[in-house]
Structures are given as C-alpha cells and as structure tokens.
Structure 1
C-alpha cells in the first residue's frame, strides 16, 4: 500500500486489497502516508485572488504575465501587468498593459474616488483603529 498510495486513488487501492475506502484512509493516516500533489508543467490553477497561474519548469507564473513576456519580453523592474478592463479572466494581449507601480498607485488610490466614498473609507478606518485600540 505504501508504494501505491501516493499515485492511486483510495477507491482503487480498496478494490485491489478487498477493503473499504475508509480502512485505506485510516491505514494511510497511521502510516503517515500522503498523496502526491505534484503539478505538471503546463497545468493551470486559479488562485484565491482570481488570477490564473500556470506551472512552468521554474515554478508558477501568472498566465497574463507569461502571455505578456512571450510577446514583449520581461516585465521591467518596478512595473506591473494590469488588465485594461479589470477582468482577470480575459487573458488577451489586447487587454493587458504594462504600467509603473507609481502609475498603478495613482490609478487605484482613494484620492480618485468621489468625495462621499472617501469619507466612508476614512470613517471606516477611524472606527477600525478605535476598535483595535480598545482590544489591545
């Protein structure tokens, strides 16, 4: 079992040994066996923040960055690749832009928001600080 456990499903092992899946799981836990979780090159996963990542030989890279670098070369230092329309799922060269981190900061800062929304954000921050100060 210890040889097959990393690569075979518990159902397959249970069928081969004439056991239940639960008994295979329990035995694996006692023996401290773990399933293999190796991603193959080219495999894609969506991270929790919604970005699509692709496995390469050197590690994981965001798919939109890989596409940009494939057509335009490496991303310059202190620059980021952003989605023009804000849609992280639309990974097309026409939807990508390379901007400096300074420009990114000016685009997405509170200063550019409507006055009423700025006040709500500042008040929420003040309230959060007050709550945190009372808990410490």
Structure 2
C-alpha cells in the first residue's frame, strides 16, 4: 500500500514554520538539503517543516550562526527525511558541531554526549507551539 506524502509550497512552509524568506535564503547557502529545493516551485514535506522549525529555534531563539552548524543541520534534514512524521513523537534531535541524529527520549542519556550538543524536542506539539 502506497501512501501520499503531503507537500507544502515554499510560502506555505515558511508561513507554518514562521521562517522569513531572508532566513531561508541564508540557510540555503550553507545547508545543501535546502539548496536542492530552489525557487518558488520547491516543495517541502512535514519532516522538512520540522527541520525548518528546529533550525529557526537554533538560529533565532538561541543565536547559533547557521555558518557554524550548516553541515549538522544538513544532516538533521536528512535524518528527518528518513523518519515518518508519526515516528517523531517522543524523539529529540541531537545537534553538535559536526553531526545530528534523532533519538527516542527513552533512549536518551547524557552519557551519549561527548561534545557540546544542542537537544531539541521533535514532538509536533513542542515544535509547533
């Protein structure tokens, strides 16, 4: 049984994720995953929206420069793309200067962190609030 993935236009994705066109333009310069979605014809999945919201949290709320975490954010978008939206509930994104990964909250332990790491919940209610 095949299921259809909902696709959002660039404008819809920016509106839902509350990301400015300027931010998205800047992120595309350093995040390859986003660079591959150019122009007004770009389409975004729910997982992409989660990535945009997390990136916005990191850059706008916490002041992390996208140039410092671009490759990690790129990895995050790929991790999210491989996950189904329903599977993100109860997960956190672990983002360090060199990588990103998704981990179930129940599997999370501070002992798994060996470098400075940003931890962001992926639950839809947490990221969409």
TM-score (norm 1): 0.27
TM-score (norm 2): 0.28
Report which of the two structures shows the higher radius of gyration computed on alpha carbons.
Answer: 1
User: Which structure: greater helix fraction?
Assistant: 2
